[in-house]
A and B are shown apart, each in its own frame.
Chain A
Amino acid sequence: MKKKVLVICGTGVATSTVIVQKLKDLFQREKMNVEIVQGKVMEVSSLSQGVDLVVSTTKIPVSLSVDVVNAVPLLTGVGQDEVFSHILSRLKV
């Protein structure tokens, strides 16, 4: 089944879009067919239904049944490769 990643930021438009672009590039490099959806943190509970992984630039204030990855290293560049490997390992089962 096609994997699905949810990218979250405060408002679902600004920093999450930067992350979406970085993940698109990553999945293209890795030749992986992954669906990426985007949203705001307020809606994370409903949006995270059926996704394989949540990648967020902001703290998720609720507990989810799916893993959450902190996306801030993809903005600062510090620890970016580790975050990429972590995301890939979560999706390559």
Chain B
Amino acid sequence: MFLELMRPQLLVPRVSARTAEDVLSFAADLLLSQGLVKTSFKRALVDRECSFPTGLEIDAGQGVAIPHTDPEHVIQSAISVITTEAPVSFFRMDDPSQSVSVRLVFILALSEGRLQVDLLQETVGLIQRPELRSSLIEAATPEDMARHLQGALHQI
């Protein structure tokens, strides 16, 4: 599922962002420009991240984030993978009073149905791979990111 939904236009390395909201805003604009989400998506994504943050701590103080929101804001399911030039602080899913330093973000735009679960499951399978996380963060081009993701997905 991840492979089918992966588009090079939605893989963006080394985004210059200072805050989690910068990252969400960048991703929402990108998805909107491709006609994949409604204009309401950005607000919904940011609001959801505020109420239920998605930062996941993996190594001490460092991790990934998997922002997502309700299917009603999505036109066509898509996934965007973004790395940031410098670490950005996300609040933690399991403890919103704590933050985690993030350079790798998987933004899930999910329409209704079974798809949502499959895609999240694959995403979880991906973020559990330390070597993939570091190669994505080091990747300089969308093509590099796609190659690393494809390689990892074939092993899942």
Residues of A within 8 A of B (CB): 9-11, 13-15, 17-18, 21, 41, 56-59, 70-72, 75-78
Contacts and interface: CB of A to CB of B under 8 A. Distances in A.
Interface residues on B, range: 20 to 34
B26 interface: no
B3 interface: no
A67 to B, nearest CB: 15
A78 B96 contact: no
B121 A76 contact: no
Interface stretch (B10-18, B28-36, B50-58, B77-85): B50-58
B56 A21 contact: no
A77 B132 CA distance: 14
A15 to B, nearest CB: 7
A76 B57 contact: yes
Contacts of A59: 94-96
B68 interface: yes
Contacts of A41: 52
Nearest to B54: A15
A72 B53 CA distance: 12
Contact of A11 (B52, B92, B127): B52
B120 interface: yes
19 contacts: A9-B52, A10-B51, A10-B93, A11-B48, A11-B52, A11-B70, A14-B68, A17-B116, A21-B117, A41-B52, A56-B94, A70-B94, A71-B94, A72-B57, A72-B93, A76-B127, A77-B124, A78-B58, A78-B59
